[in-house]
Amino acid sequence: MRIGVFSDVHGNLEALNEVLDALKEESVDRFICIGDVVGYGPDPNACVEKVREISDAVVAGNHDFAAAGRISTADFNENAAQAILWTQANLNPDSAHFLHELPMVFEYGDITAVHATPESPAEWHYILSENDAKRSLAASPTLICLVGHTHVPCIFVKDPEGGISLKEDHQVHFRSGEKYLINAGSVGQPRNGDTRAAYGVLDTEEGEFHFGFREYPVEKVQQKMARAGLPLWLIERLALGQ
């Protein structure tokens, strides 16, 4: 099975379309979305519709639950909270209901998918260090744990002795005795210094995972955001990949 893995679309339809094209070219048979379909970007309904239609599993992100009114924006920064207000005002009832009902965790075979962390999904902690990854890998019930939330694509490996390392490159071949924590990065608002939309391909037969990156028309999205009156910093950061 080849699984297309993507996360943090954030209402960016142009980036989502590129990633879905790339995943079709990669001949994936399944799609898993790791949350934050909406928030920040100008096309929440179109993104929900596409993700819903194509995905075999979607887990909830904090922006999804906030936009659907299931959690408050008390922990959000000002720009993010403002974008949630805009999203709430523009989300149709069908999209809002879909987001409201999303599960927080999805488990299938050797794979767990959760937006933030497997140890406390509802606390929306960020996995930023090897120490954070160690806690999450200990809590992951499966060999592979897929996360999102930080918008930075990366792979943490737990070796058979329990040591944790961050992989330098953007691919990994699975070896017995190891466990993997893979952050899928972000489709619609990358923060790894690369403006391209990120996605991953997990091949369960070959036992490997690799990242892919696709350019999309950033300026077109920025223009839509400006017309929608979304916060300036959210518009600017797309061109920085930060």
Name the site residues for Zn ion (rule: CB under 5 A).
8, 36
Residue closer to Zn ion (CB basis): 66 or 164:
66
Residue closer to Zn ion (CB basis): 147 or 164:
147
Closest-by-Cβ residue to Zn ion is 36
Q: Answer yes or no: are the C-beta atoms of 146 and 111 closer than 8 Å.
A: yes
Q: How far is the CB of 51 from Zn ion (least distance, A)?
A: 14
Q: What share of the chain is helix, strand, coil (3-state, %, to 5)?
A: 35, 20, 45
Beta strands in the chain (DSSP E): 2-6, 30-33, 57-58, 105-108, 111-114, 144-147, 154-158, 164-166, 171-173, 179-183, 197-203, 208-214
Residue closer to Zn ion (CB basis): 8 or 43:
8
Residue closer to Zn ion (CB basis): 36 or 43:
36
Using DSSP's 3-state secondary structure scheme, residue 41 falls into coil
Q: How far is the CB of 205 from Zn ion (least distance, A)?
A: 30
Q: How far is the CB of 155 from Zn ion (least distance, A)?
A: 19
The token duo for 220 is 């077109």
Residue closer to Zn ion (CB basis): 83 or 164:
83
Q: How far is the CB of 116 from Zn ion (least distance, A)?
A: 10
Residue closer to Zn ion (CB basis): 11 or 118:
11
Give 96's strand partners. none
The CA distance from 134 to 6, in Å, is 23
Among left, alpha and beta (phi > 0; psi -120 to 50; other), residue 12 is beta
Determine how many CB atoms are found less than 10 A away from the CB of residue 113: 29
The CA distance from 92 to 95, in Å, is 5
CA quadruple 16, 19, 23, 26: dihedral, nearest 10: 170
Q: How far is the CB of 61 from Zn ion (least distance, A)?
A: 6
Residue closer to Zn ion (CB basis): 123 or 208:
123
Q: How far is the CB of 102 from Zn ion (least distance, A)?
A: 14
Q: How far is the CB of 107 from Zn ion (least distance, A)?
A: 21
CA quadruple 70, 71, 77, 83: dihedral, nearest 10: 10
